[in-house]
Amino acid sequence: GSSGSSGMANERMNLMNMAKLSIKGLIESALNLGRTLDSDYAPLQQFFVVMEHCLKHGLKAKKTFLGQNKSFWGPLELVEKLVPEAAEITASVKDLPGLKTPVGRGRAWLRLALMQKKLSEYMKALINKKELLSEFYEVNALMMEEEGAIIAGLLVGLNVIDANFCMKGEDLDSQVGVIDFSMYLKDGNS
């Protein structure tokens, strides 16, 4: 029904606004800090959580024998077919010894792409290939709509940031990706 699609449109708008605030805040704070960011940096953690929610929006439920497998690793794995240099990241992710879940792999991929300063380029490449994405996403998912393209454009700004993550000790599989809304609400009075 139409209510379903308007619900999706609302979610897309909310996610886009959070991505905007998260990216803007991350760039500002990083430039103020003037140092390399690591995985302990809260605004960076939040950024990854928001990106994860954007990538999970409208994911089709892939039925596997283990039940439902809604993972954004599928679309990210595609990137190397579109941008060959992304193969390096995909290979690194598959080599990380600690990772057991597709979600963990997706999270590692996002971190590596940010370190490479290629996140925007990779997301744009994906978004330009709707015919590939439609295998993973519903028609009105964020990645299939204008909001996804807008976010991909905003990610260019993060290329000014130097980030360095040591993936070895991080438990990317079991992290709970919860958006801390207070970070975005208090922004109104600044």
Query: Per-residue confidence at 1, pLDDT binned at 50, 70, 90?
Result: very low
How many CB atoms neighbour CB 25 within 10 A?
Answer: 17
Write out pLDDT tens, residues 122-171. Answer: 999 999 999 999 999 999 999 999 999 999 999 999 999 999 887 765 67
Average of pLDDT values for 18-38?
Answer: 91
Task: Tell me the pLDDT of the chain averaged across its residues.
Answer: 87
pLDDT surpasses 50 at 190: no
- In this prediction, residue 63 carries a pLDDT of 66
Q: How far is 51 from 47, CA to CA, in rounded Å?
A: 6
| Residue 178: strand, helix, or coil | coil
The helix/strand count (H/E) of the chain reads as: 9, 2
Give the chain's end-to-end CA distance (angstroms, integer).
Answer: 40
d(CA 56, CA 50): 10
Q: Could you give the CA distance from residue 163 to residue 184 in angstroms, rounded to a whole number?
A: 22
Predicted confidence band of residue 187 (pLDDT cuts 50, 70, 90)? very low
Sign of the torsion angle spanned by Cα atoms 129, 133, 134, 135: positive
CB atoms within 10 A of CB 100: 12
C-alpha triplet 6, 180, 120: angle, nearest 5° = 70
Domains of the chain: 2-184 (1.20.58.900)
Longest CA pairwise span in the chain (Å):
50
In degrees to the nearest 10, what's the CA dihedral of 130, 143, 89, 120? Answer: 100
Between these two residues, 69 and 55, which has the higher pLDDT value?
55
Alpha-carbon span 95 to 162, nearest angstrom: 23
